[in-house]
């Protein structure tokens, strides 16, 4: 048996070593049950498990070393639970993890300490959708140099500060190519707030509270290919706003309050092939 799904039941407890005889299990679905905690004893013998789904339960606490024996785990989904904080040792032992889904938590201010449980060396995709994030502390993602996809949608962010991702004085090549911060309440961004993300290809800022767009936001974004600004309250786009986005192919500024576009608005966009107004 490699695939086991027991989702959408009313499971509130599991016996120790209940999957011990299933040593070839690769995918285990336990989402949408009544679990309130997770125990390491459940996973005895699961040294081949690659994907574990625990989302949509009532989990409040994840004890340290809970997943330590899951040495091959690549994806862990603990979204839509009642988790407020993760202890530093929560994900210890997960050397191969590359996707963590934490949506549905209640983080408040997101800080490096609240993500300290995650092993940054192998992580490629981090999902923090609908996680009650109200602000992002300085250098919150600084250690995640290998992260490629970051989802911060459906939170309560109102502002993106300049050093939210990493300190501008820290040297390092960040591999983030996809960033989505849509469906928040963002009304302002600091200049150069994406400056350290020089490999960014896709940037989603749609469905926020932006009223204008500034060229300073896009400093260092000479690889950006798709920019989504639709569904804001943008009234004005100043000339040369997108001038530094030399690789931009798609620009979406639909469903805003724009009445008129000046002649120089799209100057510098030599590779643009799709504009959504």
Residue pair 80/55 in contact (Cβ under 8 Å)? The answer is yes
Residue pair 107/133 in contact (Cβ under 8 Å)? The answer is yes
Per-residue confidence (pLDDT) for residue 133, from 0 to 100: 95
Eight-state DSSP code of residue 115: G
Per-residue confidence (pLDDT) for residue 106, from 0 to 100: 82
Residue ranges covered by each domain of the chain: 137-144+158-277
**Dihedral in degrees, nearest 10, Cα atoms 210, 194, 223, 270:** 40
Distance CA 172, CA 17 (A): 43
> pLDDT above 90 covers what percent of the chain?
77
213 pLDDT more than 90? yes
Per-residue confidence (pLDDT) for residue 272, from 0 to 100: 94
Give the tens place of pLDDT for each residue, 10-64: 999 999 999 999 999 999 999 999 999 999 999 999 999 999 999 999 998 888 8
Higher-confidence residue of 251 and 168: namely: 251
What is the average per-residue pLDDT within 233-247? 92
Give the tens place of pLDDT for each residue, 106-158: 889 999 988 888 888 889 999 999 999 999 999 999 999 999 999 999 999 99
For domain 137-144+158-277, the CATH class is alpha beta
Per-residue confidence (pLDDT) for residue 171, from 0 to 100: 47
Per-residue confidence (pLDDT) for residue 197, from 0 to 100: 94
Distance CA 148, CA 160 (A): 19
> What is the SS3 assignment for 213-267?
ECHHHHCCCCCCCEEECCCCCCCEECCCCCCCCCCCCEEECCCCCCCCCCCCCCC
Give the tens place of pLDDT for each residue, 258-275: 988 887 888 889 999 999
Phi, psi for 226 (deg, rounded to 5): -135, 130
Contacts of 171 (CB under 8 A, 6+ apart): none
**Spatial CA neighbour of 73 closest among 36, 32, 40:** 40
Lowest mean pLDDT among 43-47, 79-83, 158-162: 79-83
Question: How far is the first Cα of the chain from the last one, in angstroms, to the nearest whole number?
Answer: 51
93 pLDDT more than 90? no
């Amino acid at each position: 048996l490699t695939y086991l799904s027991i989702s959408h039941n009313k499971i509130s407890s599991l016996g120790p070593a209940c999957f011990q005889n299933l040593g070839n299990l690769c995918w285990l679905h336990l989402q949408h049950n009544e679990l309130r905690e997770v125990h390491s004893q459940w996973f005895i013998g699961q040294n081949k498990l690659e994907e574990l789904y625990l989302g949509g339960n009532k989990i409040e606490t994840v004890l340290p070393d809970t997943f330590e024996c899951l040495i091959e785990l690549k994806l862990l989904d603990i979204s839509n639970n009642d988790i407020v904080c993760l202890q530093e040792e929560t994900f210890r032992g997960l050397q191969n993890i590359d996707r963590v889904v934490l949506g549905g938590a209640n983080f408040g201010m997101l800080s490096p300490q609240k993500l300290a449980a995650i092993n940054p060396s192998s992580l490629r995709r981090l999902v923090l959708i609908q996680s009650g994030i109200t602000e992002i502390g300085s250098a919150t993602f600084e250690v995640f140099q290998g992260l490629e996809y970051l989802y911060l949608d459906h939170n309560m962010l109102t502002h993106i500060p300049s050093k939210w991702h990493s300190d501008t004085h820290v040297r390092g090549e960040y591999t983030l190519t996809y960033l989505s911060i849509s469906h928040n309440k963002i009304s302002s961004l600091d200049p150069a707030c994406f400056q350290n993300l020089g490999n960014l290809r896709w940037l989603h800022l749609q469905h926020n509270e932006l009223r204008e767009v500034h060229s300073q936001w896009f400093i260092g974004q000479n690889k950006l290919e798709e920019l989504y600004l639709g569904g804001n309250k943008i009234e004005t786009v100043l000339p040369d706003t997108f001038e530094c986005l030399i690789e931009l192919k798609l620009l979406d500024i639909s469903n805003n309050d724009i009445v008129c576009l000046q002649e120089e608005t799209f100057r510098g966009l030599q590779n643009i092939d799709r504009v959504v107004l």
